[in-house]
Amino acid sequence: MRRNRERSADRIQKETDGRNPVWPLFSGIHRAGRFLPSPKPAKRSLLSWKRFAAIVKKEFIQVKRDRISMAMPFMMPIVMMFLFGYAVNTEVDQVPTAVLDLNRTAESRAFIEHFAASGYFRIDGFVQNEQEIKTAVDADVIKVGLIIPPDFDRKIQRGETAAPQLIVDGTDPTTARTAFNSGMLVSEMATRQLLDERLKQLGGISLKAPSVRVTTKVWFNPEMESVRFTIPALVGLILQNVTLMLTAFALVREKERGTIEQLIVTPIRSFELIVGKLIPYIAIGYMGFLFALSICMFWFSIPVAGSLPLLLTVGFLFVLCSLAMGMLISTFAGTQLQAMMGMVFILLPSILLSGFIFPREAMPPLIAALGNFIPLTYFLEILRGIVLKGVGMPFIWKNTLMLGGFTLLILSAAMLRFRKRLD
């Protein structure tokens, strides 16, 4: 090596633009001598703001350069809210219906007219026999078949119970249930009216039978639109997804790219590293939350009935909670792909069990109890409470407390696992 050094001197000159490549290094800070120790501080404070600031700054620059991370808090609300706001609609109306009218009288036509006018059914056509209904249901052309028996008008005129038949395709339970319920409602109303008219024809008097009628009033969502139920909850779900994903990726990235190897030999403390790395994601996660909330308020016109500052405060708490979950995932995953798989384990249950779409009241007690271990469950109740009902702290303090508890618990677990030593 020494012998060859002269020979390659000219190549080195080329590589270094003809300048002496090195020296002296650290001009002005001369070393005292080979064998003198350089003074180093022996005692150090628990947290160094310089180190902390260096990490925060570095992470901000990295996020800024990462287009996907920057786009996520905006793209996810847009895509998910429009998807759920328009495509996912649990209200069923205009169910395609075929009619088999075996009676063909004024009464039967009036009855069919009631179905068409209700808005729940769309009369797509009339068929000649039951087999045609079966074929149409099989072909998925219709969901409902209405069969009116030949003796329909006679039974009504005699004051007997007429028995029209409603055939419902039960493949999709939501559609079937709605069709079934509205079918019952429509026919009851139609029969009552037909009966009324019949009685009037007979004697010119209207029969006033004593009856009990429940008057109903729906609060908070008078039209019972599912959008008002789904969209505010989406704000919470999106907030969780964005924060969780970005956090998990950010921490795993250092492992995957090997930069963590360099960091663990520096004086950085794991506390400084974690908190420093997370600050930018608190900011981004919160931005996503604000953006999703604005879509909810201004595009879907669902105003916040309660206190907006309260919502923003609890929202911040939930950002922290999601962040902690992302961190916990990152301590298990070695690569971003593994982190992605870990996220599925959190995201799917939080969609299914939190009451985001499926009401927790309908779940078996054991499954509903599982939902109690998902922070999103508590945040959704808070979110819907503030946005739709306009409730304040007296009604949400319990959930807020639970959320805070979860945040502390998950954060400590992640911190403990995120040890600086490798063994």
Partner 1 sequence: MHDGQAPFYAIEVEHLTKKFGAFTAVNDISFQIPKGCIFGFLGPNGSGKSTTIRLLCGVLQPTSGYARIMGRDVVKDTETVRHSLGYMSQRFSLYEDLTVEENLNFYAGVYGLSKAVRESRKQDLIRMANLEGKEKKLAGTLSGGWKQRLALGCALIHKPDLLILDEPTAGVDPVSRRVFWEIIHALARQGITILVTTHYMDEAESCDIVSFILDGRIMDHDTPQNLIAAEAGARNLEDVFIRRVERATGHAVSGTFQEMRFIHETES
Q: Which residues bind partner 1 (CB under 8 A)?
A: 1-2, 4-5, 8, 11-12, 14-17, 19, 21-29, 31, 33-38, 40-42, 44, 48, 50-51, 53-55, 57-58, 61-62, 65-66, 257-268, 420-423
- Cβ nearer to partner 1, comparing 61 with 341: 61
Dist. CA 269–CA 272, nearest whole Å: 5
DSSP state of 143: S
- In Å, how far are 99, 167, 193 from 155, measured between CA atoms? 19, 21, 15
Dist. CA 129–CA 134, nearest whole Å: 9
- Cβ nearer to partner 1, comparing 36 with 209: 36
- Cβ nearer to partner 1, comparing 11 with 208: 11
What minimum distance in Å lies between the beta carbon of 72 and partner 1?
17
What minimum distance in Å lies between the beta carbon of 251 and partner 1?
14
Cβ(299)–Cβ(84) below 8 Å:
no
What minimum distance in Å lies between the beta carbon of 62 and partner 1?
5
| Exposed / middle / buried, residue 252 (Cβ in 10 Å: 0-12, 13-18, 19+) | buried
What minimum distance in Å lies between the beta carbon of 245 and partner 1?
18
What minimum distance in Å lies between the beta carbon of 422 and partner 1?
6
What minimum distance in Å lies between the beta carbon of 30 and partner 1?
9
- Cβ nearer to partner 1, comparing 29 with 139: 29
- Cβ nearer to partner 1, comparing 59 with 132: 59
Cβ neighbours of 414 (radius 10 Å): 22
Sequence-distant (≥ 6) Cβ neighbours of residue 56 within 8 angstroms: 276, 277, 279, 280
What minimum distance in Å lies between the beta carbon of 336 and partner 1?
14
3-state helix, strand, coil in the chain (%, to 5): 65, 5, 30
Render the burial of 146-159: b for 16+ CB within 10 Å, e for the rest: bbbbeebbebbeee
What minimum distance in Å lies between the beta carbon of 77 and partner 1?
26
Q: Residue 174: which of 195, 143, 140, 203 has the closest Cα?
A: 143
Cβ(306)–Cβ(387) below 8 Å:
yes
Torsion sign over Cα 193, 198, 199, 201: positive
- Cβ nearer to partner 1, comparing 67 with 208: 67
- Cβ nearer to partner 1, comparing 214 with 422: 422
CB-facing half-sphere around the CA of 245: CA atoms within 13 A = 20
- Cβ nearer to partner 1, comparing 28 with 309: 28
